[in-house]
């Protein structure tokens, strides 16, 4: 008597060419998941992620798109279905961080960030709610800054607070679908997005704030993402997981 092997799971990782996104794509692929590596600006970086996955024996393709445009994201889900047969996991890492005091922030900057972080998350979450297969998982990405009240971060924290609210409600709206919805909220993590423009003394101070006395790594965050995406994370649903080494 032969035992049929379960079909491989399929993941879409938005922002898959970025620091946390690429680490998540690689970690999911290492567990046997086929990955669609989404990118908005850098086809070259996305191609490198795909090349690393395929070199290790995994399956991956890169696909472009604006996360805030429904047609682009529908095409992304179509690509996953055409290449791999469906979608089981969506990891929504795409986002921008633009900082400044409330009194000084230009509203065009505010709108640009909220278009990506809030509208983009909503568009991708809406498609995930419609198209994830039973047993699926949607994993959004927020930030521990929502709990830290750091000056200069109000607009960014507001955008990620919206992500958390959407996550908690959507998890309840998908009752009966066997789909989990969670948010991972990293603390200071050594990604290009985080490190850009920060003096070394600021980076050192943020690293020292954690009881573990270091910055997080993209791989630290990816390990939590892969847990939520896999069978061991099925009983975690409708939660915000603060992955920050104890900073908050």
pLDDT recorded at residue 162? 98
Show which residues are catalytic: 156
89: phi then psi, degrees, rounded to nearest 5: -135, 135
Q: Tell me the three state secondary structure of residue 221.
A: helix
What would the two tokens of residue 23 be?
A: 């680490």
- Contact status, residue 117 vs residue 215, Cβ threshold 8 Å: no
pLDDT recorded at residue 7? 59
Burial class (CB in 10 A: 0-12, 13-18, 19+), 218: buried
The pLDDT tens digits for 8-59 are 899 999 999 999 999 999 999 999 999 999 999 889 999 999 999 999 999 9
- Residue 186 — very low, low, confident or very high, per pLDDT cuts 50/70/90? very high
Average pLDDT, the chain: 93
The pLDDT tens digits for 187-225 are 888 887 777 777 888 888 888 888 998 988 999 999 999
How many angstroms separate the CA atoms of 76 and 164, rounded?
23
Of the listed ranges 9-18, 79-88, 239-248, the one predicted with least confidence: 239-248
**Alpha helix stretches (DSSP H) within the chain:** 19-30, 43-55, 70-84, 107-114, 120-131, 154-173, 192-195, 200-209, 218-229
pLDDT recorded at residue 1? 39
Q: Where are the domains of the chain?
A: 10-243
- Contact status, residue 63 vs residue 37, Cβ threshold 8 Å: yes
CATH 3.40.50.720, domain 10-243, yes or no: yes
The pLDDT tens digits for 111-167 are 999 999 999 999 999 999 999 999 999 999 999 999 988 899 999 999 999 999 999
Burial class (CB in 10 A: 0-12, 13-18, 19+), 96: middle
**Mean pLDDT for the stretch of residues 61-88:** 98
């Amino acid at each position: 008597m032969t035992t049929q092997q379960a079909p491989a799971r399929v993941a879409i990782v938005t922002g898959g060419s970025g620091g946390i996104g690429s680490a998540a794509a690689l970690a999911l692929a290492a567990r046997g998941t086929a990955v669609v590596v989404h990118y908005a600006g850098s086809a070259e970086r996305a191609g490198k992620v795909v090349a690393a996955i395929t070199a290790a024996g995994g399956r991956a393709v890169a696909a472009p798109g604006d996360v805030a445009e429904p047609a682009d994201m529908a095409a992304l889900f179509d690509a996953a279905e055409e290449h791999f047969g469906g979608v089981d996991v969506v990891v929504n890492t795409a986002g921008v961080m633009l900082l400044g005091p409330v009194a000084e922030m230009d509203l065009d900057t505010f709108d640009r960030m909220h278009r990506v972080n809030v509208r983009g998350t909503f568009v991708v979450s809406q498609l995930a709610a419609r198209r994830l297969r039973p047993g699926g998982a949607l994993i959004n990405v927020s930030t521990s800054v929502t709990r830290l009240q750091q000056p200069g971060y109000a607009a960014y924290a507001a955008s990620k607070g919206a992500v958390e609210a959407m996550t908690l409600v959507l998890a309840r709206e998908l009752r009966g679908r066997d789909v989990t919805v969670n948010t991972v909220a990293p603390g200071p993590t050594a990604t290009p997005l985080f490190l850009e423009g920060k003096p070394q003394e600021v980076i050192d101070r943020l690293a020292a704030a954690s009881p573990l006395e270091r910055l997080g790594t993209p791989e630290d965050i990816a390990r939590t993402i892969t847990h939520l995406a896999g069978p061991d994370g099925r009983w975690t649903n409708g939660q915000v997981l603060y992955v920050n080494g104890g900073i908050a």
